Amino acid sequence: MLAVSYFWKRFKRHKPAIVGLIVVFFYIIIAVFGPYIAPYDPVTLHIEDRLQKPSAKYLFGTDAFGRDILSRVIYGTRISMTIGILSILMGVVIGGTMGVIAGYFSYLERIIMFVVDVLLAFPSILLAIGVMTILGPGIYSVIIAVTIRQIPSFSRMVRSVVLSVKNYEYIEAARALGSSNARIIFKSILPNSFAPILVYSTLQIGWNILLAAILSFLGIGVPPPIPEWGRMVAEGRNFLRQAPHIATFPGIAIFLLVISFNMIGDSLRDAIDPKLKI
């Protein structure tokens, strides 16, 4: 309890982190209660109201098909948050498991790290595009593509932590007392990996959301008519002079969420690291 209190005391000194927490909490509320908040159905066409500017009737205006931009941004929040969080969770589980095995069992390290190095040889965007080309467009395909991009990073990070602690005296003492490998890993090694995983995961959620938006912007991510921020920006680029609001509002939504997660991640790192005096 004292450790949590000390951590929160250090964390809340970062004003950008508090702002980021508020913004992320606001997005979560929108994602959860989106269907009750959105004033219109996000896929219903109102051709007679196409390309309407922001007004009392349509707060964010309408797109080329007369769909309400505000409703589409609200529904897109749930999709982007789902992709960002699920891809991180899957990346932590798969990549973390690979990192633990590679770091603890030396005879498997070369094989696992070879796979990791192969994945790291490809730029993130190209790797995600390649996976999407194989799987085809869709929400689940985007989640898989973004997760595969995360696996090598988590593997290398967890492996480095395992290598640094597995030969400590308390680990040797646990072995001498007859503790199994599984018990040593879950009771002694993984707790040491929690802090770096938490910080890195928070930073990467924003990047995952951005990567998903890039895939949809390129036309290989979430398919229409599902409201997704990246595709909304892509649809609005042809109307930047006539109706700039089509691309502006989803672009702002992406920016605010990504920068909020980055601010939280930076503050978590500073709060957890005892070497940093804040």
Q: pLDDT digits over 142-174, tens only?
A: 999 999 988 998 898 888 888 888 777 777 777
Q: Quote the mean pLDDT of the chain.
A: 86
Contact 150, 204 (CB under 8 A): yes
Residue 2, pLDDT score: 40
The share of the chain scoring above pLDDT 90, in percent, equals 36
Contact 147, 153 (CB under 8 A): no
Average pLDDT over residues 92-110: 88
Residue 1, pLDDT score: 47
Average pLDDT over residues 185-199: 79
| pLDDT higher than 70, residue 275 | no
Residue 123, pLDDT score: 86
CA distance 137 to 249: 24
CA distance 248 to 23: 18
Per-residue pLDDT band for 256 (boundaries 50, 70, 90) equals very high
CA distance 108 to 126: 28
CA distance 45 to 138: 22
Average pLDDT over residues 89-99: 91
When mean pLDDT is compared across 7-16, 162-171, 231-240, the lowest value belongs to: 7-16
Omega cis (within 30) before 227: no
Q: Determine the straight-line distance between the first and last CA of the chain, rounded to whole angstroms.
A: 21
| pLDDT higher than 60, residue 219 | yes
CA distance 144 to 200: 19
Per-residue pLDDT band for 7 (boundaries 50, 70, 90) equals low
Residue 60, pLDDT score: 93
What does the angle CA 102 – CA 105 – CA 108 come to, to the nearest 5 degrees? 60
Domains and CATH numbers, the chain: 10-30+67-272 (1.10.3720.10)
Using a cut of 0.75, tell me whether the model's pTM lies above it.
yes
Residue 208, pLDDT score: 92
Q: CA–CA distance from 19 to each of 73, 88, 145, 203 (Å)?
A: 21, 22, 30, 15
